[in-house]
Copies of this chain bind each other. A is one copy, B any other.
Amino acid sequence: MKSDVELVSTGSELLSGRTVNTHAQTLADKIRPFGLRLTRDTTVGDDLAAIADCVRSALARVDIVFVSGGLGGTSDDLTRDALIQIVGGGLVQYPAALAALERRYAAMGRPVTDVARRQTLILDRGEGLLNPVGLAPGMAIELSAALVGGVSNPAKKMIFVLPGPPREFVGVLEKEIFPRLGKMGLPVFQALENLLECTGLGETEIAERLEKIGLPTPEIEVGYCAAMGQIEVRLTVAPEHAALLAEKTPAARAALGAAVYAESRIGLEEAVGRLLAVQKKTLATAESCTGGLIGHRLTQIPGSSAYFLGGVIAYANASKVRDLAVPQALIEKHGAVSEEVARAMAEGVRARFGADFGLATTGIAGPEGGSAAKPVGTVWFALAAAAGTSAKHRCFPTTRENVKLWSSQLALDLLRRRLQGV
């Protein structure tokens, strides 16, 4: 069997605009340890012909197809009927699921209805998979050449059928399908992956630097995942090219230099937190335009109370003067969004909290408040420490939300670079 798998997600609610389909993400993440790779997810409504068409097409491309949803007892639950169109046979009661359902209804003191009983039906050509969380069982259906006309290489293919509700999907997957995957003797293809989490460089700059050192190569795939001010670079190879990956990764790291803030999947707030914890340093924040976002990000990390003492959200100028000891004259002379005020804020919060580092932001998040000299998106950053205070200035010509996000990113990165000495 090949390691590529597909998912067919059924359910009109997934295409209604009300519900986000999380099955693809869940499945891809959970089957990776088995060396399985999700190559396609097709989401389709409660439509018999469409479901059958999607499953049939998927079986033509890959050896293992997961199908989710449509296993209840009501009129819009059509997955079993669609599968019969493909593999033939009929429906039988799955005794273990029926017994579990009867126990559950007895506990609730309710009679078992026909609609309820219908959801414990399974294909007679399949095997029932008990649902540890809900009522409708899943199914494992093995396809032989005789069963699937017109499907290429039908020597041995598998359909795993899972209930649609996310907790039941995961329950059947982990409890019933994982043991079966383990026994299937899959030729485990475990792609090797090295991560370089970057900040301060754009995706295009990163790509150009990597191109200069010959990446990607035919063997080394380069993938990018860009979030706000944070780009994950993935170098991926098949196991036989492990040596090449080991050789090229340091070159990639060197090419990207100080932009690399971690080599595992963590955010800047966690990278900064780890550095503070290891170096036994403390931090206090003075936030104006970011309004608390930096504090919020830092405190997302468990254990942050060891190094984050707190801060002042100095949104009004009066707070900058009163709580951070910024001289009123400085604000009047240079404006609240200025290098001078940012420096005073950082030093003020450091002194107030008795912290090793004081980190400050002051800027114009917009959409109002900009001027020709200081357009919307103008932000000053300062970092105060015993050794002195440094400041930086950027302009993010974007929305209010993004100015805040980018600013929190740049502020954390200022501290990260100081802590790493890069």
A interface majority secondary structure: mixed
CA gap between A113 and B309 in the complex, in Å: 42
A20-B22, A40-B50, A43-B40 given as contacts; is B315 within 8 A of A313 (CB)?
A: no
Tell me, yes or no, whether A192 is within 8 Å of chain B by CB: no
- List the B side residues contacting A305 at CB < 8 Å: 315-316
CA gap between A314 and B284 in the complex, in Å: 10
Tell me, yes or no, whether A154 is within 8 Å of chain B by CB: no
CA gap between A365 and B165 in the complex, in Å: 21
Closest Cβ–Cβ distance, residue A392 to chain B (whole Å): 13
- List the B side residues contacting A285 at CB < 8 Å: 292, 313
- A222 B75 Cβ-Cβ under 8 A: yes
- A76 B223 Cβ-Cβ under 8 A: yes
CB < 8 Å: which of B74, B202, B311 contacts A204?
B74
- A114 B39 Cβ-Cβ under 8 A: no
- A312 B312 Cβ-Cβ under 8 A: yes
Tell me, yes or no, whether A323 is within 8 Å of chain B by CB: yes
Tell me, yes or no, whether A332 is within 8 Å of chain B by CB: no
A164 (CB) vs chain B CBs: closest residue: B226
26 residue pairs A–B, Cβ–Cβ below 8 Å = A13-B225, A14-B25, A14-B41, A15-B37, A17-B25, A17-B28, A17-B32, A20-B24, A40-B54, A42-B43, A72-B203, A73-B204, A107-B395, A107-B397, A108-B394, A115-B203, A289-B299, A290-B296, A292-B311, A293-B296, A295-B295, A295-B296, A299-B315, A299-B365, A310-B314, A312-B313
- List the B side residues contacting A365 at CB < 8 Å: 299
- A18 B24 Cβ-Cβ under 8 A: no
- Residues of A that sit less than 8 Å from B by CB: 12-22, 24-30, 32, 37-47, 50, 54, 57, 72-76, 104, 107-108, 110, 113-116, 119, 133, 165, 202-205, 207-208, 211, 216, 222-226, 265, 285, 287, 289-296, 298-300, 302-305, 308-316, 318-319, 322-323, 352-354, 365-368, 394-395, 397-401, 404
| Copies of this protein chain in the complex | 2
- A318 B309 Cβ-Cβ under 8 A: yes
CA gap between A295 and B232 in the complex, in Å: 29
A236 (CB) vs chain B CBs: closest residue: B12
